[in-house]
Amino acid sequence: MEAHDALSAAIAQRVGFKGLWASGLSISSALGFRDANEASWTQIVDVVERIVDAAHVPVLVDGDSGFGNFNNARLVAKKLDQRGAAGICLEDKRFPKMNSFVGDRHPLADVDEFCGRLKAVKDTTAPDFVLVARIEALIAGHGLAEALARAEAYADAGADAILIHSRKSVPDEILAFASAWNNRRPVVVVPTKYYRTPVSMFRDAKISTVIWANHSIRAAVAGMREICAHIHSQEGISAIEDQIASLDDLFDLVGYDELAEAEHRYLPRRPV
């Protein structure tokens, strides 16, 4: 499940998700940036640190195309590893990337050069730090053969899993990929555009992981807009109190209870 800050991470974990996606699109949007490498890698790493602190489940970080060449990619990956992320996903585009659903200009990285980025990340991070290689060939209008050739090269370069991305409204091309790829490495998909596809279809295709990539930030936008519009038009908040999260809910998500216990333990009993 997508997380874009500590609060969305805590919420996703508490409803039961066993892993989080630190989405570049969602984090950028929350910061008011476009998903075009406008946010710096240090800004992303700082947000991820808060996500990792808030959730006790693995966090896979959207590392975009690695913020440059092999050197930038390994630097970002190392910092994410140090801050407690479970892994990084790198997409085979050039820097700066553009969100895969925006426009038609998505030039792909050279395969060998991208393999260098993957190898550099593998060589720099701990053995259990997961490296997902994301293939943008279908997004860029190349066919299945190009996607498969890239998957093969990325697996050889050390990728632990392959994310195959598509912006079609039906899952045909990712299912064709999964069938031909035959699980040589686990397959990850992001069904933002083919959202009508039932999960059973992904299970049947032996797809390992589905990422719901931007749904908390979109829910936040819809919810905030509705409440803002209501308060603005009604000049009051009496009718919405029970439609929004309570303050206790908010305090609970951020762990005020633990602070109260700690105060009991560490503060002197006498007034200071």
Among 5, 35, 62, 64, the active-site one is 35
Nearer to Mg ion, 24 or 116 (CB): 24
- Angstrom distance (rounded) from CA 98 to CA 233: 37
Nearer to ligand SPV, 30 or 115 (CB): 30
Respond yes or no: is residue 64 known to be catalytic.
no
Nearer to Mg ion, 119 or 165 (CB): 165
Question: What x-and-dash track marks residues 11-40 binding Mg ion by CB under 5 A?
Answer: -------------xx---------------
Identity of the amino acid at 243: Q
Alpha helices in the chain (DSSP H): 6-15, 24-31, 41-54, 70-82, 111-124, 144-156, 172-181, 199-204, 215-234, 247-254, 256-266
Sort strands 59-62 and 20-22 into parallel, antiparallel or unpaired.
parallel
Nearer to ligand SPV, 220 or 249 (CB): 220
| Minimum distance, C-beta of residue 101 to ligand SPV, in the bound complex (Å) | 6
Residues that bind ligand SPV (CB under 6 A): 23-26, 35, 62, 99-100, 190, 192, 213-214
**Which residues ranging from 200 to 229 are in contact with Mg ion (CB under 5 A)?**
none
Query: Would you state the structure tokens that stand for residue 40, as one six-digit string?
Result: 């710096």
**Which residues ranging from 57 to 86 are in contact with Mg ion (CB under 5 A)?**
62
Under rule CB under 5 A, how many of the chain's residues touch Mg ion? 3
Nearer to ligand SPV, 62 or 92 (CB): 62
- Residue 73 and residue 133 in contact, taking contact as beta carbons nearer than 8 Å: no
Angle at 28 between CA 250 and CA 42, to 5 degrees: 95
Cβ contacts of 214 within 8 Å, gap of 6 or more: 2, 23, 25, 26, 192
Task: Select the binding partner of residue 100 from ligand SPV, Mg ion, none (C-beta < 5 to 8 A, by kind).
Answer: ligand SPV
| Minimum distance, C-beta of residue 137 to ligand SPV, in the bound complex (Å) | 14
The β-bridge partners of 88 are 61, 131
Identity of the amino acid at 235: E
| Minimum distance, C-beta of residue 138 to Mg ion, in the bound complex (Å) | 15
| Minimum distance, C-beta of residue 62 to ligand SPV, in the bound complex (Å) | 5
Task: Select the binding partner of residue 8 from ligand SPV, Mg ion, none (C-beta < 5 to 8 A, by kind).
Answer: none
- Angstrom distance (rounded) from CA 244 to CA 14: 18
Binding site for Mg ion (CB under 5 A): 24-25, 62
